[in-house]
Chain A
C-alpha cells in the first residue's frame, strides 16, 4: 500500500460488502417471516370456487356445493388419517361454537373407510354444517388440494378470498372471516 493509492477512494470496492449486507437482510427477513415455502398460492384466489356434487357423510343425502352460494363459508378439507387435522379440530369446534360463526363445510378427503370419518367426528366433535365426502380424492384435485388440512374462505358470491394450508388458528379464522364480511 502506498500513499498515492490510499488517497484515491475506489467507491466500487464497497459493492461486495453492500451485496453481502443485502443478502444478510433478505435472508434474515425471510427466516423471520412466517412465509412458508411449502404453501403454494391457490390459482382460485379471487375466482369462483369449483362446484362439486357428492353425498354427505353423516346423512347420506346428496350434497351440491352450488347450494352454498348466498352466504360466506369456510371449506375445510380433512381426513381421519391426517394427524394435523386432529390438531386443528378443537380450534374448529371452538370457532363453530361462537354465536357469529359462519358455516364450516368439512370435505372428508380420501377416507379409506367412511366409518373412520364418522367415528372420528363422534369422538372429536362435529363443527361442520355439512360433511361432503371425497373418497377417491377427485374433488380435492378439482379444488387444487395437495395435503390436508386446507381451508378455503369463500364469500357469499362463491369467490375464494383466502386459502390456508395447514392447521388454522382461532386468530386466523377470526381475521379472515372479518375480511370476508367486510368485502360483502
Chain B
C-alpha cells in the first residue's frame, strides 16, 4: 500500500518536472529583439527577426543584431528595417552590410582564399585519419599479425 503511494508521488514529481521544463524551453525560444518597429504584418516581422539573427553585432561580438542592446546594433536594426521597407531583398541587405563591415558581419562565412583553411581543415584532418587507418590496415595485413598493438597475451618477462 505504502509502496504504491510512493510511486504516485514520484510520478507527480516527474510530471511537474516535465511541465516546468516545457515552460522554460518555451520562453527560451522566443528571445527576440524588442524594438517597437512598425511591422506591417507578422510575416514581415518574422523575416526581420530571422535576418537580424544572421547578422553579427560588431560592438559585442558574440551577439547577433537581434540579441544585442548595443547602440550600433539598434542603429543597424533600424537600417535593416528601413531597407526591408524600401523593398530590398535579404541578400541585398547583407551585401550592403558586408560592403561596409566585411564578412565578419555575417555568421556564415563565405568560402574564399582567406577562409579556405577554415572550411578545408576538417576534410584534411579526415583524410589524414583515413590515410593512417588504411596504412595500418595494409601493414598489419603484410606482416600478418593482425594488429600493431603489443601482443595482448601475457609474456613471461612481464612485470
Contacts and interface: CB of A to CB of B under 8 A. Distances in A.
Contacts of A41: 102, 104
Interface in B68-99: 71-72, 75-76, 79, 98-99
B101 A43 contact: yes
B58 A2 contact: no
B150 A141 contact: no
Interface residues of A, number: 22
Given A1-B159, A3-B157, A141 B79 contact: yes
A42 interface: yes
B100 interface: yes
A147 interface: yes
Contacts of B59: 146-147
Contacts, number: 48
Given A43-B100, A137-B71, A144-B102, 11 more contacts: A1-B158, A2-B150, A2-B158, A37-B61, A40-B104, A43-B98, A43-B101, A137-B72, A137-B75, A141-B75, A146-B59
A163 B116 CA distance: 25
Nearest to B75: A137
Interface residues of B, number: 23
A86 interface: no
Interface of A: 1-5, 10, 12, 37-38, 40-43, 110, 136-137, 141-144, 146-147
Contacts of A1: 158-159
B40 interface: no
Nearest to B99: A43
Contacts of B132: 12
B85 to A, nearest CB: 16
A40 B72 contact: no
A10 B76 CA distance: 57
B155 interface: yes
Given A40-B58, A141-B79, A146-B72, A2 B99 contact: no
